[in-house]
Amino acid sequence: MTFIRALEFFSGIGGLHFGFNASGANGQVLESFDMNQQANDTYKLSFGKSPVSRGIDRLMVKDIEKYNANCWLMSPPCQPYTRGGKLLDDQDNRAKPLLHLLDQLEKLKTPPQYLFLENVKNFETSRSRHRLVTLLNKMGYVFRECLLAPYNFGVPNDRLRYFLMARLRSSFGTPTTATSTTHDGTVLRPEKFDPETEIIYSSWPLPAFVEDPRKSLQQHTFNIPELQKFMDENEKDGKDYLLSRQLILERPNFRFDILQPTSTRSACFTKAYGSHHVAGGGSLLQTQKMDQQEYDFGNSESIADLGIRFLTPTEVARIHVFPLDEKHDSPNPFESTTCTDNVESGSSAHSSGDSLTTVRPFNPRLTQGREGPFLRFPDKLKALQRYKLLGNSLNVWVVAELLRGVLFAEHPGAPRPEYQPADGDSESNAERPAMESSNNAEGPEGGKHDITAPEDGLSEQTQGDLQEDESSRETKRARVE
Ligand SMILES: C[S@@+](CC[C@H](N)C(=O)[O-])C[C@H]1O[C@@H](n2cnc3c(N)ncnc32)[C@H](O)[C@@H]1O
């Protein structure tokens, strides 16, 4: 398999890097780029290396070519494509770094063979996406696009996101013409390209790049684990994360999204989660009167008696499937989380010999190397800042599966392009820097939930963040349950 040399743009707290590791890819993340100081401090603590903090919109071709990378991982800002961000699309300044990267991509002498992009729902109808896929098509990439949420992969969380996986046609060893057929007759992509009618897949697994017309995709159903498997034993009562009685009483008729530990769903945790001003942006947990499962939101006294709390940052990080430095003396609670198989599940990271994407039953322990890297927040970051970074981030398991099952999947009949080390470059034998362990023993929790802490800009985007995921929540919930 090709040795993957990846660049991680808009790295945040490293969700793409963790996903890359968990995909089992043969390779390494060479460099990451972000300009958020708190995210970069967290990234440094987790991976032992600081991202480049120079603005991505100031990177030039020479700055990128020096890495000789063959893979780009990108999760650009989502505000240009959300109602809260006014849907300004390519006219929004926050879209500039992505559009700038596309300009640079076109100028590269050796464009990356592999490209991965994550963004919010709505991106798929944006002018930015139109520009992206039109450019990719022109440059000879084949690609798959999808709108998927963690629950599609067996994780009890709704976080519907757009993903694009693109591969240079030449990496399959086929001609760079509009239609390519491999020697065994499988079709690499449809003859005609129209960005308006390209399929955006909405179920998992999706067809791999090389479609074998003799095979058809089968549905796959997961048994989704209960939330209690993600719960923080140290926060059983969650005293530090309880919503105050006063806050609940001040919000008659506010429909809190209340979950019980036995729930097999949760709403998207946005970067506004944990804010006591909005009491929203993600699901809340009931800790008292557990036999009460119907809620009268008009009677806020009855809601205030339920001991409602926020999930802790550790719990949110677990639901986002970040590897954490935790002791696993107990049996793996996810081992029984197997799927209802009506499709053969591929359990190996490099399952080849099948042109369709393969499915792994969800098991977060597969993302965790014994030695790390683990997600580690600096002690100085308060709970609200951690929620914000997590809310900006992504689901590591989803990224891992899309990379493993689609982007890096091997294809029958495809010659295996070999990585050619540059002079003096012994990369193929190198340890991934990601495997360096940090000697910081602090868990991700560190600080306590400080409800008097400044909100660090939460309020500006809060309404938009809430709206962003509100619309899809009800339908998704129905599908999870
Ligand atoms: C959606 S978040 C990506 C989060 C990331 N995938 C993670 O796992 O945390 C977008 C990131 O882009 C960064 N960003 C926005 N504009 C940037 C720019 N011009 N240059 C570098 N980073 C930028 C933000 O700081 C933010 O961390």
Mean pLDDT throughout 310-329? 91
Ligand 1 pocket, CB under 6 A:
10-16, 33-36, 39, 55-57, 75, 77-78, 97, 392-394
Mean pLDDT throughout 161-169? 94
In a domain, 387, yes or no: yes
Mean pLDDT throughout 252-272? 93
How far are the Cα atoms of 61, 288, 316 from residue 285, in angstroms, in the given order?
Answer: 48, 9, 12
Under 8 Å between Cβ of 389 and 269: no
Do 60 and 148 sit in the same domain of this protein?
yes
Residue 57 alpha carbon to ligand 1 centre in Å: 12
Minimum mean pLDDT range among 53-62, 64-73, 358-367: 358-367
Confidence of residue 252 (pLDDT cuts 50, 70, 90): confident
Taking only the tens place, the pLDDT of each residue in 414-450 is: 433 332 323 333 333 333 222 222 323 233 333 333 3
Q: How many contiguous H segments (helices) and E segments (strands) does the chain have?
A: 11, 12
Q: For the chain, what is the domain count?
A: 2
Taking only the tens place, the pLDDT of each residue in 62-107 is: 999 999 999 999 999 999 999 888 889 999 999 999 999 999 999 9
- pLDDT in the model for residue 193: 78
- pLDDT in the model for residue 96: 97
Residue 53 alpha carbon to ligand 1 centre in Å: 10
Q: What is the DSSP letter of 181?
A: B
In a domain, 334, yes or no: no
Give residues with Cβ within 8 angstroms of 397, minimum separation 6. 19, 22, 150, 153, 155, 321, 362, 364, 367
Task: State which of 172-176, 234-238, 268-272, 336-340 shows the largest mean pLDDT.
Answer: 268-272
413: left (phi over 0), alpha (psi -120 to 50) or beta: left
Do 201 and 289 sit in the same domain of this protein?
no
Residue 117 alpha carbon to ligand 1 centre in Å: 12
Do 372 and 309 sit in the same domain of this protein?
no
Q: Is 85 helix (H, G, I), strand (E, B) or coil?
A: coil
- pLDDT in the model for residue 326: 86
Atom in ligand 1 nearest the alpha carbon of residue 96: 19
Supply 91's token pair. 């006219």
Taking only the tens place, the pLDDT of each residue in 19-33 is: 999 998 999 999 999
- pLDDT in the model for residue 422: 31
How far are the Cα atoms of 15, 78, 275, 283, 392 from residue 270, in angstroms, in the given order?
Answer: 15, 12, 10, 10, 7
In a domain, 195, yes or no: yes
Distance of CA 344 to the CA centre of its chain: 25
Rounded to 5 degrees, what are φ and ψ at 326?
-125, 150
Do 152 and 90 sit in the same domain of this protein?
yes
Do 50 and 197 sit in the same domain of this protein?
yes
Do 472 and 413 sit in the same domain of this protein?
no
Taking only the tens place, the pLDDT of each residue in 166-221 is: 999 887 754 444 445 554 445 565 556 788 888 899 988 887 776 554 556 666 78
The answer, yes or no, to whether residue 158 has pLDDT greater than 50, is yes
Range of the domain at 460: 227-318+449-480
How far are the Cα atoms of 121, 374, 435 from residue 371, in angstroms, in the given order?
Answer: 35, 8, 7
Do 130 and 267 sit in the same domain of this protein?
no
In a domain, 57, yes or no: yes
In a domain, 397, yes or no: yes
Q: What is the DSSP letter of 165?
A: E
Residue with the nearest Cα to atom 1 of ligand 1?
77
Under 8 Å between Cβ of 354 and 20: no
| CB < 8 Å & 24+ apart, contacts of 419-425 | 419/2, 419/3, 419/5, 419/70, 422/68
Q: Is 53 helix (H, G, I), strand (E, B) or coil?
A: coil
Do 88 and 27 sit in the same domain of this protein?
yes
- pLDDT in the model for residue 110: 97
Do 169 and 182 sit in the same domain of this protein?
yes
Confidence of residue 235 (pLDDT cuts 50, 70, 90): low
Active-site amino acid positions: 78
The tokens 């294809």 sit on which residue? 411
The answer, yes or no, to whether residue 337 has pLDDT greater than 70, is no
Do 41 and 153 sit in the same domain of this protein?
yes
In a domain, 336, yes or no: no
Do 255 and 355 sit in the same domain of this protein?
no
Residue 34 alpha carbon to ligand 1 centre in Å: 5
Residue with the nearest Cα to atom 25 of ligand 1?
36
Do 107 and 185 sit in the same domain of this protein?
yes
CATH number at residue 422: 3.40.50.150
